[in-house]
Amino acid sequence: MTEQEGKTWFITGVSSGLGRELARAVRRSGDRVIGTVRKTAHVDELAAEGIDALILDVDDEASVQRGVSEATARLGRIDVLVNNAGFGMAGAVEALSIGEVRAVMETNFFGALRVTQALIPSMRTTGGTIVMVTSMAGVVGFAGTGAYCASKFALEGLSEALADELAPFGVHVLIVEPGSFRTAFAGDSNRRASRSIDAYAGTQAGEAHRMMAAYAGTEPGDPAKGADAIIATVRSPSPPRRLVLGADAVELISAKLDQVRQDIGAWREVSRATAFS
């Protein structure tokens, strides 16, 4: 496929939110796109908009292999992979069960890894772009969202290493770090730890789920504009390693980096004094 013919996109998690808006924007731009969903009803909804979708569960290896094979057969090749599927989890770290944390990691981290590994062999020969949708919570930890932050921090580290591994093959890895966008993330897509601990009552850790639910529907980020920004960045002749989306994300991530620099500077001599004499 030539540049004139456009790109082919494979996007996970397009039933709603940023993923759905991105699929719409890609189609409007003239590129071809196939998205993944978990329910047949969503396939039908997207088909009504002229968007192709297939059933794929990123938690299941066999489902991922089938979905990637089907998408590749339909598109001929995949130029842009967008790992977008995921969900949130609210609760103090102490209150989370290991099973709940594993579930978040299974989808948000291992799910993205499964899909990526399935497509790397073909992309190594054709080149392309892998978009990892992490979060500002993949750079900044927030009380009450430890499991979600852990999954996105892990995806950030994997993506940095992957970027260096695939650069020699003409594959660019773009890490997208959205702030608060007006999607279902803070509402229906955000799960809550099954256990609560009275000691955290009134703190952000204990009230995170309630706070996010109250925030749902008022987030400042427009997912349609976020989708357009991702497309423009993918098409750029010199795309960055990271794309931060939203003024809130820009401010919070910048403040985190300033704090890291401050800590390093203040403790530089202690850090350097650990070498053998």
Please give the C-alpha separations between residue 1 and each of 82, 119, 237, in angstroms, as whole numbers. 19, 17, 18
- The answer to whether 155 and 130 have CB atoms below 8 angstroms apart is no
What is 132-192 written as a DSSP string? EE--GGGTS--TTBHHHHHHHHHHHHHHHHHHHHHGGGTEEEEEEEE--BSSSTTTTTEEE
Identified catalytic residue from 9, 10, 148, 200: 148
Cα–chain-centroid distance for residue 84?
5
Residues 90/190, Cβ–Cβ less than 8 Å: yes
The residue type found at 5 is: E
Please check whether residue 115 is in contact with residue 12, taking contact to mean a CB–CB distance below 8 angstroms: yes
DSSP 8-state secondary structure symbol assigned to residue 164: H
By the 8 A CB rule, do 150 and 192 touch? no
Sign of the alpha-carbon dihedral angle for 175, 90, 221, 107: positive
Token pair for 203: 């703190």
Does the active-site annotation cover 148?
yes
Structure tokens at 9: 């996109």
Place of tokens 């939110």: 17
> Distance between CA 28 and CA 6 in Å, rounded?
12
Active site residues: 148
